A = this chain, B = another copy of it.
Amino acid sequence: MPNTQPLNQDLSLTVIKTVCSTCNLRELCLPFGLSLEELERLDDLISTRRRIKRGDYLYRVGDSFDAIYAIRSGFFKTDVLLEDGREQVTGFQMGGELLGLDGISTEHHTCNAIALEDSEICAIPFARLESLSREIHTLQRHFHKVMSREIVRDHGVMMLLGTMRAEERLAAFLLNLSQRFTARGFSHTEFYLRMTREEIGSYLGLKLETVSRAFSRFQEEGHIAVQQKHVRILNVDGLKALLNQRA
């Protein structure tokens, strides 16, 4: 497939902003581990950037698949729906993470991806990604690792849903968010939740009231300070202690 990306021009700031090689998320995202030269070849893939407004769908169940998406900024949830309307949130995604891997299997998306705040994504045409990863060893390897990491993450969620009690689940959830915010240079003790109690509940297999009560309980016990979507972790070890203790 020919390279359809225009060559960089000296003074174009806009071009600089649309490429992987200068993206400040490159160490978290697909470009991880690539050489400078390889990075520039990856730049050619990222033909489209798109803004997704809060509440809008990036893709829906059944949409035909032809690209995966890297989150440049913002916050998403993915979910699957049962015929009777029950929703299961399968994940929350933030900057540098990839969306759309579910679509490779059938060439149609099998879940919905919805922006929880105004967001910006890079579309990566999948056929071109495959073809480039046939040439760039490290890209191929890294892409495989990303897919595998998603599988491992899913196993963690199964563990959470299958064996943990409500407060354990919420503690695990908060610690996971904290750790991912840290990796992005944000505070690991203080953050705004982008999702509602109901969405957290759906992800954790709980009802929103149970989530709310668990938040209140954590606050009573001094582990966190919480006011609506604003969370401050006061005692990380306290939260960690809630994990891995048998019922």
Binding site for B on A (CB under 8 A): 80, 82-88, 90, 101-106, 110-111, 130, 133-135, 137, 140-141, 144-145, 147-152, 154-159, 161-163, 202-205, 244-246
How many of these chains are in the complex?
Answer: 2
Asked if A85 contacts B162 (CB within 8 A), the reply is no
Asked if B150 contacts A151 (CB within 8 A), the reply is yes
Find chain B residues with CB under 8 A from A130 CB.
Answer: 137, 140-141, 144
| Closest Cβ–Cβ distance, residue A204 to chain B (whole Å) | 8
Considering the complex, give the chain B residue whose CB is closest to the CB of A150: B151
Asked if A163 contacts B105 (CB within 8 A), the reply is no
State in angstroms the CA–CA spacing of A50 and B176 once bound together: 38
| Closest Cβ–Cβ distance, residue A36 to chain B (whole Å) | 22
Find chain B residues with CB under 8 A from A158 CB.
Answer: 80, 88, 90, 154, 157-158, 161
Considering the complex, give the chain B residue whose CB is closest to the CB of A156: B80
Asked if A147 contacts B151 (CB within 8 A), the reply is yes
State in angstroms the CA–CA spacing of A204 and B147 once bound together: 24
Identify which of B147, B152, B156, B161 contacts A161 (C-beta below 8 A).
B161
Asked if B163 contacts A205 (CB within 8 A), the reply is yes
Listed from nearest, the 9 A-B pairs whose CB atoms lie closest are A104-B148, A154-B154, A105-B148, A161-B161, A162-B205, A105-B149, A88-B159, A83-B244, A147-B147
Asked if A84 contacts B202 (CB within 8 A), the reply is no
Asked if A202 contacts B162 (CB within 8 A), the reply is yes
Considering the complex, give the chain B residue whose CB is closest to the CB of A201: B162
Find chain B residues with CB under 8 A from A144 CB.
Answer: 104, 130, 147
| Closest Cβ–Cβ distance, residue A182 to chain B (whole Å) | 19
Asked if A101 contacts B148 (CB within 8 A), the reply is yes
Asked if A111 contacts B155 (CB within 8 A), the reply is yes
